[in-house]
Amino acid sequence: MPTPVNMPALGESVSEGTVTQWLKKEGESVEVDEPLLEVSTDKVDTEIPSPVAGVLSQILVAEDETVEVGAQIAVIGEAGEAPTEGGAPAVETVEEPPAQEAPAPAPAPAPEPAPAPQPAPRAEPEPQPQPAPAAAAPAETRRSREDITPPVDVETVSATGAATGTGAAKAETEAETEAGGGGEAYVTPLVRKLAAEQGVDLSTVKGSGVGGRIRKQDVQEAARQQQEQRAATAAQPAPPTAAPQPRPVVPDTTLRGRTEQMTRLRQTIAEQMVESQQISAQLTQVIEVDITRVARLREQAAEQFRAREGVELTFLPFFALATIEALKTHPKLNAVIDSAKKEVTYHSVENLGISIDTERGMLAPVIKDAGDLNLGGLARKIVDLTDRAHNGGLSPDELSGGTFTLVDAGADGALFQTPIINQPQVGILATGAVVKRPVVVDDPQLGEVIAVRSVAYLALSYDHRLIDGADAARFMNSVKERLEEGAFEAELG
């Protein structure tokens, strides 16, 4: 019995999805939970699995078409209802009868009277007219078939064994293309656009998808390899010259002079950022933090931490832990405002969003119940969410439900930035790059001295409708004191 496939619910506030790529063709067999297609929303890209085993008998929504959640997008029939090759069922049901009528050339014996005189061996070629009647019969068959089904492509004809020599050659060429030889037929607009943005030549990319299809992950990996090659080339010492030569300027030709439609994610980010500025009365407060003790502790514990936790120990988990502890003692920063009801709700949990820069745009996956995690647990969750954000492996639920957001602005070398609040939250903290510089410190024996210290800026944007400057300062001082005392030995074992 046919089973409908519907566009599934793809997360909170997501009402529609765009089919970016079908991983199966009509007529192909599918197993339960086998990836059937890829869908893109304004929050995340994901694969939709098959709900049952059988044959993909009909595709109702084309690639790059957007439909509402719950809309039917395909039909899966039982395994015995159709062969595994696409389109074959429609051809066999119509073409079998004409194949039996092929004896219509039986009238061909009519030309046999010509050989009756047997004047000369030339009568032998006369059987060649038989192909002409045979061609006439398929012509009628084609007309009747066109009235019933769409035109049959070469792949379908070859599947029924009725292809001519030229058609078979073409089908063989298309089969090679399926296997990855050409790849053009299996490059979706989304993948093609990503390749153009990253400067990747698709003819050099080997697809890892079904049938050798090139997927976005393949393009991202190729772009990463190109960046590594460029970095390695740039790192090579320049030949000795009389004077230092400036680094050559390499223009980015993938975007210069282009006009294109904003992606769905970019449109969503734009709408949310403008909406946040319109809803909240936002201010930003910046402080400087001396994290020399954290830096030294991190250097000492790096190898042991990597061996125990399986991830690198960066500064971000320290910032995250200090932020979560400050949220527990300053609940005003961990709240939500209902403007319509004039109400404030203070959350009882700390769900920490981590802002991550990806190829598609900025995402903020959420560490749920972050207040229950130690330093090692936070480090593992941050690495896991970051990896899956770049590889398209986040689920829609992981991109919602945050109560406060942390931005690692220092990852790109920024000293600080003024982040925009992620609605409906009331605060967001940006951490700047950790740098070493001489500062004045108060030594118990020597008094004021100049020393080299590891310092960073922290910038808090907060909603002035609920939080005053003094509230923000108290929160920031709690984070500062926790980081400067550097008492994380217990957390590191």
User: Residue 186 in contact with residue 213, Cβ under 8 Å?
Assistant: yes
SS3 401: coil
The Cα 480–Cα 431 span in angstroms is 12
Q: Which two tokens stand for residue 113?
A: 């009277």
Type of residue found at 416: F
CB atoms within 10 A of CB 453: 17
The Cα 434–Cα 451 span in angstroms is 16
- Catalytic entry in 153, 397, 464, 471: 464
Selection from 74, 73, 93 nearest residue 82 by Cα: 93
The C-alpha angle with vertex 438 and arms to 295 and 429, in degrees rounded to 5, equals 50
Q: Which two tokens stand for residue 468?
A: 């005053």
The Cα 309–Cα 317 span in angstroms is 13
Tell whether omega for the bond before 424 is within 30 degrees of 0, i.e. cis: yes
Which alpha helices (DSSP H) does 179-215 contain, by range? 189-198
Q: Which two tokens stand for residue 156?
A: 């379908």
The Cα 416–Cα 346 span in angstroms is 28
Half-sphere exposure of 267 (CA within 13 A, CB side): 7
Q: Which two tokens stand for residue 433?
A: 């790059």
468 as an active site residue: the answer is yes
List the beta strands (DSSP E) in 326-393.
335-338, 343-346, 352-357, 362-363, 366-367
Residues in the chain: 493
The Cα 441–Cα 58 span in angstroms is 73
Q: Which two tokens stand for residue 490?
A: 């217990």
The two beta strands, 427-431 and 404-408, are parallel
The residues annotated as belonging to the active site are 464, 468
